[in-house]
Amino acid sequence: MSDHELTETPPPPLLQGVQAIEAALTTLPLAPGVYRMLDGKGDVLYVGKARALRKRVYSYTQTARLPERLKRMVHETRRLEVVTTASEAEALLLEANLIKRLRPRYNIVLRDDKSFPWLVISDDHPWPQISKHRGERRKGASYYGPFASVWAVNQTLTALQRVFLLRSCNDTVFENRERPCLLHQIKRCSAPCVERIGRDDYRSLVAEAKQFLAGHVPSIQKRLAAEMEQAAEALEFERAAALRDRIRGLTHVQGSSRINVEGLGDADVVALHMAAGQSCVQVFFFRGGRNNGNRPYFLSHSRSDITPEEVMGSFLAQLYADLPPPPLILTAVEAPEAALLAEALSDKAGRKVEFHTPRRGDKLRLVEHAATNAREALERRLAESTAQAQLLDGAQRLFDLPERPERIEVYDNSHIQGTAAYGAMIVAGPAGFMKNAYRKFSIKEAKPGDDFAMMREVLDRRFSRALKEDPTRAEPGWPDLVLIDGGVGQLNVALEVMRDLGLEDIPLVAIAKGVDRDAGREWFHMAGREAFQLPPRDPVLYYLQRLRDEAHRFVIGAHRAGRAKAMTRSELDDIPGVGAAVKRRLLNHFGSARGVRNAGEDDLANCPGIGRSLARRIHGHFHPGATVPQGGGS
């Protein structure tokens, strides 16, 4: 028998996938949990949940019964990972969290990383502040929202200032004011900073604002009207006029929301529209009966046979993975596991959460309105995608690219006389700007003011890291076209970097303004080709200008932020154990970093929130050779 005959032929890929799943089945329990299908490189292909893990996973071994999409998934599967949970509801929440974080190819994925803005009232301050907030919540504050956009939260904040006259300045500004600010002059603040209002009266305004945000508008309006009449009868005309202005502001707030439903309270309205293999889900946020705005979500999924119910179920689980759910969620179509999802969200929220698909009445009209918005948003997106595809086709022809570019990277630098030097990369593709892929680079090695060296450093760092993470260039994320803001010099630097890294096949184009620096007269430079211009009104020229301008905007923003950070830096930042909060206390107490440097240890220890140990460390930082006598003394 020959060596060739002894060589074992590996099983076909589909059989390898089945074998990997069967190997995992031997240790799987009949408990609820979440499973992850992984390919040969360890990347997650699919995340699923199950009431009984062994039964659910076993179904993937019956390949004859699987649709083509799942056959492809099993074909790529080489390993299974499993997490058991206490209940199926807990498994559903874990599944949603993992899908949002891992973004598996075979799941319906909600690709939205933007957090929601909220209104927050600082309850732990004697004079509470109202402000906008994003990110994690802290103790000692009341949160109201979410709002669909910054515009929506700004509108509500302005209205609350007009009606309830609450301060919006931060604590440092508040504690150092000696006279009222402009907001008091335009009747949007009661000036508690200089005690133009008593503490009890201000607390009453805070309580009214909270009632308003909770939806108790009629009772507030009735009470204000009664107070206005009493003030007028007592001939306190100035106070009566102020109350009248507040009532007018409240009326304006009520009339500014075009969509209101009596008795709706806190609720989300969710509807979707599907067309051309894409889905758009619109969510309207109602809090306290007030419309806090709406936001569209565009979902990616690999199946052409997916149903609206499946899209809705997957979307809702991912939406409320991070967002606190309201008591009522109105949906245009019923999710397949609405009861299970309601149970899971109720456990998570610590109160009852209900899903309802209305069939008539005002709530049905709300859902229909959301569905209309979903349809219109998807139609706009499809139209934009068509126009975008035409522009990308134009770029392909213009630069002789082998195919339509799916990822264009644009690079620019910014500095002022060599200081706060930054480079930036923006990314664009068929769906427009891909802002989650933007990157900024703090220039570390290039000489100040050397634009060529800065470009070399940025490109070398970007592509050296890419090669380290993906040496075979098998993963997505590699550009089909690189645009550089600059002329022949920048192009030659880029060509040199790519040649050194072995990436000469990536097309490079430098875009430079003409001698007179006029937009529309740009020159394009490519290796092995004469510099050329486009007609001033060419749509592709406008598109490339937009890309260049977006890179310029982004790098200028990074540069300004870095310069502002450098300007606010002080010698206190070099002291171990002194963070932003301690630094703020020291500056508020001593007035400046110089005052801190000249303070004695006892003076430092008397600063609120410092203490003897930290005071000794701060004093030792500025006076390393000093010895402090123990036990006081004269």
pLDDT tens per residue across span 27-70: 999 999 999 999 998 899 999 999 999 999 999 999 988 888 88
> Using one digit for the tens of pLDDT, what is the confidence trace for 193-205?
999 999 999 999 9
Q: What percent of the chain clears pLDDT 90, i.e. is strictly above it?
A: 45
Contact 153, 131 (CB under 8 A): no
> Using one digit for the tens of pLDDT, what is the confidence trace for 382-419?
888 888 899 999 999 999 999 999 999 999 988 765 56
pLDDT attached to residue 563: 61
Q: Tell whether pTM > 0.85.
A: no
What separation in angstroms does the CA of 235 have from each of 221, 222, 245, 452, 565? 21, 20, 17, 75, 54
* Model confidence at 629: pLDDT above 90: no
> Using one digit for the tens of pLDDT, what is the confidence trace for 112-165?
767 889 999 999 899 999 999 988 888 889 999 898 888 888 888 887 888 888
Bridge partners for 485 per DSSP: 511
Average pLDDT of the segment spanning 260-273: 84
Lowest average pLDDT, out of 76-80, 90-94, 247-251, goes to 247-251
- CB neighbour list of residue 510: distance below 8 Å, 6 or more residues apart: 483, 484, 485, 486, 487, 488, 490, 491, 494, 524, 525, 526
Lowest average pLDDT, out of 241-250, 298-307, 507-516, goes to 241-250
**Pairing of the two strands 481-485 and 408-416:** parallel
What kind and span of H or E run contains 416? strand 408-416
pLDDT attached to residue 166: 92
In the predicted model, what is the mean pLDDT of the chain?
85
- Top-ranked range on mean pLDDT: pick from 215-219, 420-424, 447-451: 420-424
Domains along the sequence of the chain with CATH: 3-107 (3.40.1440.10), 118-256 (no CATH), 267-380 (3.30.420.10), 408-565 (3.30.420.340), 571-622 (1.10.150.20)
* Model confidence at 288: pLDDT above 70: yes
3-state secondary structure 43-96: CEEEEEEECCHHHHHHHHHCHHHCCHHHHHHHHHCCEEEEEECCCHHHHHHHHH
